[in-house]
Amino acid sequence: MKNTIITNVRIFDGTGSDPFPGDVLIEGRRIKRIWAAGQPRDIVEAHRIDGRGRFLMPGMTDAHTHFSWNDQPSLAAIQFMPPEEHILWCVGVAKRYLDMGFTSALGAAAAKPRLDVVLRNAIDAGNFPGPRYLAGSQEITTLGGLGDNTLPHMPFRELNFGEVVSGPEDVRRAARMFIKYGVDHLKINLSGEYIAGIPAEASPFSEEEIAMLAAEARRAGKRVAAHARSSVSVKQCVRHGFELVFHASFADDEALDMLEANKDKHFVAPGLGWLVSTLYHAEQWGITQQAATDMGYARELEVASDTLQKMHKRGIRILPGGDYGFAWMPHGTNAKDLEYLMRYVGMSAKEALLSATRLGGEIMMLPEDIGQIRPGFLADLILVDGDPLTDITLLQDPEKIAMVWKDGNVVKDRLRVTEPILV
C-alpha cells in the first residue's frame, strides 16, 4: 500500500493563499486530497505521518543551476575535470538538491556536451536519486566570447568551456549537435561576464547568428536559455523568443517594456547568488570585495537590484537560481537566492516562496503537476521545521528540512518515521 497521510501540518499550497492547518493524503505519486483542520475527514487506509504543526510546502525549483560546476574556485577547474570524474560529480550533486528540498532544477548549461543529458536520463530512469531536471546544452558562445577559454595553439582546445561558434552556419551545426544529444533547451551566451574579462554590457553575437539559433530551436521544439546581462541581449531574447532569460541586470526601460509585453512567455532568473557571493563572500579564494568591485560587480548588483525591482512591479516572472557550484557558493546553498529575492528585488517572503514553487512548476513546463499542493498534483513536498514566511533563511539549513517527497516517495527523512501508523 502506498497511501500516506500527513496530518497536523500548516499547508502552504503555492496557490497564493495563506498557510492553513490541515492534512494531506498522498496516493501513489500524486496528492489525492487535502482537508483543512476541522473539516470532517473520511476514514482512509494510509500510513500516517504526524507533522506536529510543521510547515508543508511544495518542493522548490532552482531555475538556474549547473550540476557540472564543481564547487571549485575557477572556471578552469570545471573545464578540465576529466569526463569520468565529472559525471560522478553530477550524480552526487543531484542528491544534494533533493536533501535541500529542491525537487526540480533547470540546468542552465553543462560543462561538457552530454553531462546534463546523461544525468537527466539516469535520474528519470530511477538509477540515481535527483530532482526533476531539464538538461541544458553547453554554452554556445562566439569566438572570443564568454566561455571561449582557449587559444588556437593550446593542445587542449578540444576541451573548451563553451561550444565556440562563428557565423550562422556554425550556430546551426552547434544547435543540431545538442538537439541530437537530447537537450531540453539550448543555451547561448548573449552577453559578457566581468570575471571572464568581458564586460557584462557587451553583446557579441550578430543578429544573423541569433536568428539562426531561434530558427533551429523552433524547428526542434526546444526552448532557448540565454546568459543576458546587457540591455541589448535582453532585447535580443524577447525579439527572438528566447524564453529563459538569465541575469538581465542592465535591462533598460525599453527592454523592460518588451519583457512586460511578453511576460507570459519569458522567465527571468537573475542569478543573485553569483553576484552577491562573488562580491561579498569570495575573499578566501582571492576575490576581495575591492577586486570584485573593480571588476564591476558592485555596480552590477546595484543596477540589477534596481532593474529587478522594476521588473517585479511589472509582474514579470522572476525565479530563484544563482549559478551555485563555486567554492564560495557551493551546491546545496541555493535557498540563499530566496533571501536575496527579498533583499534585492523587494519580494515578500510569500512571493519568494511562490517564485520557488508555483513559478518553478511553470518554468519546468509542468504547471498542472508540480509547484502546488492541490489534488491531482504530483507529491513533491517539503516538511519544514519552523515558518519560512517569518524567516526565509530556515530553508538554507539542512536540519530544518525535515522531510522531502518526490513523486510520492520519501527522499529525505530526518524524523525517521520508521513505523508509520495506519489510520
Residues 313-342 that bind Zn ion (CB under 5 A): 323
Distances (CA, A) of 227 to 18, 34, 190, 219, 355: 35, 40, 6, 22, 20
Smallest gap from residue 104 Cβ to Zn ion (A): 17
Smallest gap from residue 334 Cβ to Zn ion (A): 12
- Amino acid identity, position 293: T
Between 19 and 107, CB nearer to Zn ion: 107
β-pair partners for 223: 185
60-93 burial code (b ≥16 CB/10 A, e <16): bbbbbbbbbbbbbeebeebbebeeeebbebbbeb
Rounded distance between C-alpha atoms, residue 45 and residue 26, angstroms: 11
Neighbours of 27 (CB within 10 A): 18
Residues 6+ apart with CB under 8 A from 180: none
Between 326 and 405, CB nearer to Zn ion: 326
Neighbours of 324 (CB within 10 A): 28
Between 56 and 213, CB nearer to Zn ion: 213
Q: Are 44 and 3 in contact (CB under 8 A)?
A: yes
Say how many Å lie between the first and final Cα of the chain, rounded.
13
Cell 509547484, residue located = 371
Smallest gap from residue 66 Cβ to Zn ion (A): 6
Between 13 and 323, CB nearer to Zn ion: 323
Residues 173-212 that bind Zn ion (CB under 5 A): none
Element (H, E) at 393: none
Residues 93-112 that bind Zn ion (CB under 5 A): 108
Between 49 and 245, CB nearer to Zn ion: 245
Q: Under rule CB under 5 A, how many of the chain's residues touch Zn ion? A: 2
Rounded distance between C-alpha atoms, residue 111 and residue 74, angstroms: 13
Between 5 and 228, CB nearer to Zn ion: 228
**Cα dihedral 353/359/365/370 (nearest 10):** 40
- Amino acid identity, position 357: T
Between 108 and 259, CB nearer to Zn ion: 108
**Cell of residue 328, nine digits:** 564560495
The SS3 assignment for 16 reads coil
Residue 268 gets which letter from DSSP?
Answer: E
Smallest gap from residue 64 Cβ to Zn ion (A): 6
Residues 6+ apart with CB under 8 A from 315: 260, 263
Residues 132-171 that bind Zn ion (CB under 5 A): none
| 259 counts as binding Zn ion under rule CB under 5 A | no
Smallest gap from residue 126 Cβ to Zn ion (A): 28
Between 108 and 401, CB nearer to Zn ion: 108
Binding map of Zn ion across residues 54-93, x = CB under 5 A, - = no contact: ----------------------------------------
Between 101 and 325, CB nearer to Zn ion: 325
Smallest gap from residue 321 Cβ to Zn ion (A): 8
Residues 364-423 that bind Zn ion (CB under 5 A): none
Smallest gap from residue 7 Cβ to Zn ion (A): 41
Smallest gap from residue 89 Cβ to Zn ion (A): 17
Smallest gap from residue 196 Cβ to Zn ion (A): 12
**Which residues of the chain form contacts with Zn ion (CB under 5 A)?**
108, 323
